[in-house]
Amino acid sequence: MSVEKILSSWKKKNFKPVYWLEGEEEFYIDKLIDYAEHNILPESEAAFNLTVFYGKDADWAALINACRRYPMFAERQVVILKEAQQMRDIDKLEAYIENPLSSTVLVVSYKEKKVDGRSKLAKLLKDKDKAEVFTTKKMYDNQLPEWINELVENKGFSISQKAVMLLAEHIGNDLSRINNEVEKVLVNLAERKSINEDDIEKYVGVSKEYNVFELQDALTKKNLSKAIRIIQYFESNPKAAPIQLILPALYNFFSKTYMLFGQSSNDEKAMAAAIGVNPFFIKDYKAAANNYKYEGVESILLLLHEYNLKSVGVNSINTEDGSLLKEMVLKMMV
């Protein structure tokens, strides 16, 4: 079941006794936990019928006793276990989950991993009458642009594609941070309803001219002077784009470009789907493929691997990151 479906059922006052929220993506787990804590019960009932435990300090017996209490002056009570992955003896919850109280809504936040599928606990959680398991995965980088667009649209705003890419490249797949940065930008928009790259530069702190996305564009178009200017900016502003961020981003771009040579279809949507990118950006990958050809892209991938090793000291001692990047792009383009 998706986040939206769980929230929809909660808003309709349809509850299962147990909700087990697990996995790598904290953003969605936090969203459900926040709703459960602040919205399932009206404020007048929460004082007596909302109990929150934290895994590191939680005692399993106290947690089960809380779940087995009956609500006071209300139809139901809510018990929340945060950071359950830190709780000792969490398997002791099996006794309660096997026979939960229908008037209790137990919501468990089990971040960063999943319950062992071979365990009795996992088997009990599969009972759809008693429990709902929500499992999250980290979002792939190619899914970020669409996710950012939807996030902004759901807040009643729009965002330019370049602004989307600046956020995606600068932050990566930390959805909670992206959401926080978007909220910060929206607060400062005044009467406007659209986010542009100037807003990202001003309020998030990402240069719209000197960033990994623009370096990628310079390489795609074989614009050496632009690439060197961007690298010089990185040298003067080391936190703007460390080499450990730049090289993986470029490798991801050119590895997907490399995949284009194996495509039989010329349809851009089909090509984008095949290499796992947003169709809006397929023209960039096609441009790189046309400008470098098969052998050139293959050579770039080898260079990126070589300079990734050099960046950690292999066959290169005390060489500045900026010097490595300049040397690499010269070899790529010349």
- How distant is the alpha carbon of residue 32 from its chain centre? 16
Shared-domain flag, residues 11 and 40: yes
* pTM for this predicted structure: 0.75
How far apart are the C-alpha atoms of 78 and 271, rounded to whole Å? 48
Paired with 110 in beta bridges are 22
Whether residues 117 and 157 fall in one domain:
no
Are 12 and 69 part of one and the same domain? Answer: yes
| Final residue of a structural domain among 158, 180, 204 | 204
Direct distance between the N- and C-terminal alpha carbons of the chain, in angstroms, rounded to an integer: 52
Residue 194 shares a structural domain with residue 278: no
For residue 153, what pLDDT is reported?
95
Do 111 and 235 fall within a single domain?
Answer: no
Answer left, alpha or beta for residue 99, where phi above 0 means left and psi between -120 and 50 means alpha. beta
Residue 171 has a pLDDT of 86
Task: Give the residue among 42, 62, 43, 44 at the shortest CA–CA distance from 52.
Answer: 62
Identify whether residues 114 and 189 lie together within a single domain: no
| Element of type H or E holding 158 | strand 158-159
Residues 6+ apart with CB under 8 A from 246: 212, 215, 234, 325
Of 150, 178, 204, which one is at a domain's C-terminal end?
204
What CATH number does residue 266 fall under?
A: 1.20.272.10
Domain stop point among 136, 168, 194: 136
Query: Both 132 and 163 in a single domain?
Result: no
CB atoms within 10 A of CB 334: 7
pLDDT at residue 155 in the model: 93
Pairing relationship of beta strands 104-111 and 131-136 according to DSSP bridges = unpaired
Q: Match 């971040």 to its residue by tokens.
A: 111
* Same-domain pairing of 247 and 323: yes
Average pLDDT across each block of 10 residues of the chain; the chain has 334 residues. List them in order.
91 96 94 96 94 93 96 95 93 93 96 88 90 91 88 94 88 91 93 93 89 93 95 89 90 94 88 86 93 96 95 85 94 90
pLDDT at 139: 87
> What total number of domains does the chain contain?
3
Same domain, 228 and 261: yes
CATH for 62: 3.40.50.300
Cα 181 to Cα 171: distance, rounded to the nearest angstrom: 9
Do residues 99 and 10 share a domain? yes
Check: CB of residue 80 under 8 Å from CB of residue 29.
no
C-alpha 68/C-alpha 50 separation (Å) is 13
> pLDDT at position 306, please?
94
The domain spanning residue 146 has which CATH number?
Answer: 1.10.8.60
Q: What is the pLDDT of residue 245?
A: 87
- 7 with 119, same domain: the answer is yes
What strand order describes the sheet that includes 50-54? 50-54, 77-82, 104-111, 18-23, 131-136
CA angle 235/162/188 to nearest 5° reads 90
- Which domain covers residue 316, as residue numbers? 212-333
* 147 and 131 share one domain: no
From the list 281, 234, 286, the residue with the least C-alpha distance to 263 is 286
Q: Which of 254, 261, 239 is nearest to 304 (CA)?
A: 254
pLDDT at 292: 96
Backbone dihedral region of 270: left (phi > 0), alpha (psi from -120 to 50 degrees) or beta? alpha
Q: Are strands 77-82 and 194-195 parallel, antiparallel or unpaired?
A: unpaired
Residue 110 pLDDT: 95
